[in-house]
Structure 1
Amino acid sequence: MQNPVPAAPAGDNPYGLFQALHEGGVISWSVFVILVIMSIGTFYIMFTKLLQQQKIMNQGNKVRASFWNSPNLKDAAIKLEARSAYRSIVDDALVAQEQHGKLTDPVDQHEWMANSLARSQGSIGARLGEGLAFLATVGSTAPFIGLFGTVIGIYRALIKIGASGDASITTVAGPVGEALIMTALGLVVAVPAVLAYNWLIRRNKSIIEDLAAFTNDVHGYIMSSGAVKPRGIGPATAPAKSASAPLAPSTTR
């Protein structure tokens, strides 16, 4: 007569996560640690990018509220935070305007300014995209890493079943269920990464569109010596002679 299997002590789950890791050995622990690192990296990047995006959005609101009411770009730039996205575009525009007058080989100012602003906007877009590749990698690879842990767990379970000679459902269910925990962990890590990636990409697209519109407005403002402003903004007021240089020097007629 077969002896009954002793019951597990009260409060001790024989089929939990740590039991699965213990049964899986080094490989299961390695898979678990990799997934934990991926999850931590995902949430870190998600929150830091959200803060970065929100900061730029707040700067955009400030630009729409008061930036274009300034008499020139230098005064307007002071209203923006140092080293911010919109401030960077304005500073690069002023530098490009100054550098154009120092060129020995004549270059059309419109083309020179457009290229300079495009480089500035591209640099900001590159910074906004930092870290998103990690989210895409986690979203695409985490399920397979979890599946690898599951395959190893099932393999070990089958080896134990073959060695014991007992293939009953009570013998198979426990080890196989423990192995499937790794697949579940892979999905738990991958789903937030995919959602965060798609969400951040959509917000980045909106930010880039606003920056492109602002860049175009700055370009038009400079090329028209302040006569062209965004819709809804009045014509540039000619300030009295002051220490601040005007947006663009007036052309002599």
Structure 2
Amino acid sequence: MDALHWWRQGDAVTQSAALVLLAMSVASWVVIVWKLRLMRRASADVARCTAAFWQAPSLLLAQQRLQSFDRDALVLPLVDAANLIANHDGVTPPTLATAGSLSQRLTRVLRDALHDVLGRLQFGQVLLATVGSTAPFVGLLGTVWGIYHALTAVAGAGQITIDRVSGPVGEALVMTAAGLAVAIPAVLAYNVFGRLLGRIEADLEGFARDLRELVIDTAPVQSLTGTTAGLSNAIRPAAGPPQGGSAPLGGSEPRAAGSVGA
């Protein structure tokens, strides 16, 4: 039984299931190859970047060093966010984004940068999980549909023998094998990449926590209290004239226009 003969014997449902399995297989293998390269680079880059960062004499020099080590921008966004807060503390105009203490603002920007990095690392995991969980059922659908049509054709022939049944049923079982062949690599890759992602995520979270403590310890004391006073002054309305229409102290009613010098 060759593939061309099997394709010609199948109907629209069987052929559609086969095309879906083919698309799932191609997509999952593309993601597997891409993520395998990304995970290998990420594991090496995170270790080298953290070591280079702590060997730098200052935060600015560490930021410059990481540009040559961090090929996939995994550690550098965290350092950029912390450096932005440290260098512009008390300089930016008072807004809700700059309100609060330095610790609160650092936590916010580092959390956002970390979520962005982890989102890029986790890309493709949903596809692998979807392929691994649905491909066997797509293959089973093709098998059940093929067996149904095979038994219908045998029953219509009027004479049921083993030779007439075994051939079409065996061809229908190919879909189940194809579904398993598509699902098994996707499930294995999902588990392996999930374990690697857990290690990288733990390293990045630990680095972000240490970076936050470093910036807070080296910041001026007045930066730790926040800028909420400046924010309240910026949004406070200007004082109006006293109620009741009384004139200001030490003055009289304002003169009408054109009466100056009269």
Tell me the TM-score range normalised by the shorter chain.
Answer: 0.7 to 0.9
Once residues 63 and 125 of structure 1 are traced to their aligned partners in structure 2, the CA distance between those partners, rounded to angstroms, is 16
Q: Deviations over 1:79-126 (max 9, x none)?
A: 123661101110011122244422526511111111211111111111
Query: What letter is aligned with 2:61?
Result: D
Q: 1:53 aligns with which of 1, 16, 39?
A: 39
Deviating 4+ runs (over 6 angstroms): none
Matching of residue 68 in structure 1 with residue 54 in structure 2: yes
1:218, distance to aligned residue in structure 2 (A): 0.8
Q: 1:140 aligns with which of 133, 142, 167?
A: 133
Query: What letter is aligned with 2:13?
Result: I
Once residues 162 and 59 of structure 2 are traced to their aligned partners in structure 1, the CA distance between those partners, rounded to angstroms, is 77
Once residues 214 and 103 of structure 1 are traced to their aligned partners in structure 2, the CA distance between those partners, rounded to angstroms, is 29
**2:94 counterpart SS class:** coil
Paired residues of 2:46 and 2:74 also in contact (CA < 8 A): no
Once residues 175 and 100 of structure 1 are traced to their aligned partners in structure 2, the CA distance between those partners, rounded to angstroms, is 74
- Structure 1, unmatched stretches of 5+, are 1-14, 226-247
Q: 1:168 aligns with which of 161, 174, 180?
A: 161
Greater gyration radius: 2
Once residues 17 and 66 of structure 1 are traced to their aligned partners in structure 2, the CA distance between those partners, rounded to angstroms, is 55
Q: Find the counterpart in structure 2 of residue 233 from structure 1.
A: none
Matching of residue 204 in structure 1 with residue 197 in structure 2: yes
1:151, distance to aligned residue in structure 2 (A): 1.4
Q: 2:112 aligns with which of 100, 116, 119?
A: 119
- Structure 2, unmatched stretches of 5+, are 224-262
Q: Deviations over 1:134-155 (max 9, x none)?
A: 1111111101111111111111
1:133, distance to aligned residue in structure 2 (A): 0.7
Q: 1:90 aligns with which of 79, 82, 85?
A: 79
The TM-score normalised by the length of structure 1 is 0.79
Q: Find the counterpart in structure 1 of residue 8 from structure 2.
A: 22
Paired residues of 1:143 and 1:190 also in contact (CA < 8 A): yes
1:17, distance to aligned residue in structure 2 (A): 3.6
The TM-score normalised by the length of structure 2 is 0.77
Aligned residue pairs total: 216
Residue identity (%):
34
- Give the CA RMSD over aligned residues: 2.0
Q: Find the counterpart in structure 2 of residue 7 from structure 1.
A: none
Once residues 33 and 139 of structure 2 are traced to their aligned partners in structure 1, the CA distance between those partners, rounded to angstroms, is 24
Once residues 43 and 52 of structure 1 are traced to their aligned partners in structure 2, the CA distance between those partners, rounded to angstroms, is 14
**1:84 counterpart SS class:** coil
